[in-house]
Amino acid sequence: MKRVIVTGDSGGLGHKIVTNLLNHEEYSVIGVSRQETATIMDLRQEYKERYQHIAFDLSRPERIKDLFSNRIKDIGPIYGLVNNAAYAYDDIVTNARIESLERMYNINVFSPILLTKYVIRNMLLYGTKGAIVHISSVSAHTGYKGLSMYASTKGALEAFSIGVAREWGGYGIRSNCVAPGFMETPMSESLTPEQKRRIYKRTSLKEETSADSVAKTVAFLLSENASSITGTVIRVDNGTI
């Protein structure tokens, strides 16, 4: 059984990633998110032996060592990590607030880095040739008003992933990113229909990105079918121009 940690499993994309993985009997999932939702309870009921949820606040990266020591270490070998959890602080840079920036970097950058640290240590301990997938964003590749600060966290994650791929590839550990376009998820609920229309108009397919397509790409990168893919970013964004 391949154990995969998925952060942000309570959100729209996180739920898609978890359910897609659990549809393959070779995987079990450890979900990590701040609160237990109805969807998480449903997953626990349906996949009793292959899914468990750990309540943890990823805005407190200094506690991740304790998370691994007390909640994850004794579970056994970890095959994969999906750094999916994210916090979007949307505003123009002239309105930047340090408190919001710190929270966003804690969740989007510092926690993924520290989670990666302890997952790689686990992989080395057990001799696991594993895979790490970071969820980036199309905003790291093309500009959107109000998303410059959020995009900077995703750009940092992509640069980190490339370095990890180089550092640990010799041990059979792969690191990649998936950069989704705009999806119909809770993170995009603040957008008006007109704002969404303008965003989708910038894509080749003229519609929102399918969260299911993103989830399947994540599953592909975790699988042996992607055994020669590392240090890359796959854009799943409907051909954003």
Per-residue model confidence (pLDDT) at position 144: 83
Per-residue model confidence (pLDDT) at position 204: 83
Whether residue 226 is contained in a domain is answered as yes
Range of the domain at 43: 2-236
Per-residue model confidence (pLDDT) at position 169: 98
Residue 72: CA count within 13 A, CB half-sphere: 28
Whether residue 185 is contained in a domain is answered as yes
Q: Where are the alpha helices (DSSP H) in the chain?
A: 12-22, 38-46, 64-67, 98-105, 111-126, 148-168, 193-201, 211-222
Per-residue model confidence (pLDDT) at position 185: 62
Per-residue model confidence (pLDDT) at position 33: 96
Per-residue model confidence (pLDDT) at position 208: 86
Per-residue model confidence (pLDDT) at position 187: 56
Low-confidence residues of the chain: pLDDT under 70: 185-192, 241
Concatenated DSSP letters for 139-185? Answer: GGTS--TT-HHHHHHHHHHHHHHHHHHHHHGGGT-EEEEEEE--BSS
CATH number, residue 157: 3.40.50.720
Name residues whose C-beta falls within 8 Å of residue 191's C-beta, 6 or more positions apart in sequence: 182, 199
Per-residue model confidence (pLDDT) at position 189: 61
Whether residue 7 is contained in a domain is answered as yes
Is residue 40 classed as helix, strand or coil in its secondary structure?
A: helix
Per-residue model confidence (pLDDT) at position 191: 65
Q: What does the block give as tokens for 201?
A: 């108009």
Whether residue 151 is contained in a domain is answered as yes
Whether residue 63 is contained in a domain is answered as yes
Whether residue 192 is contained in a domain is answered as yes
Per-residue model confidence (pLDDT) at position 184: 73
Residue 232 phi, psi dihedral angles, 5° rounding: -125, 170
Sign of torsion over alpha carbons 86, 88, 93, 95: negative
Per-residue model confidence (pLDDT) at position 214: 97
Whether residue 241 is contained in a domain is answered as no
Name residues whose C-beta falls within 8 Å of residue 25's C-beta, 6 or more positions apart in sequence: 50
pTM value > 0.75:
yes
Per-residue model confidence (pLDDT) at position 48: 87
- For the chain, the domain total comes to 1
Task: List, by residue number, the catalytic residues.
Answer: 150
Whether residue 22 is contained in a domain is answered as yes
Residue 53 phi, psi dihedral angles, 5° rounding: -120, 135
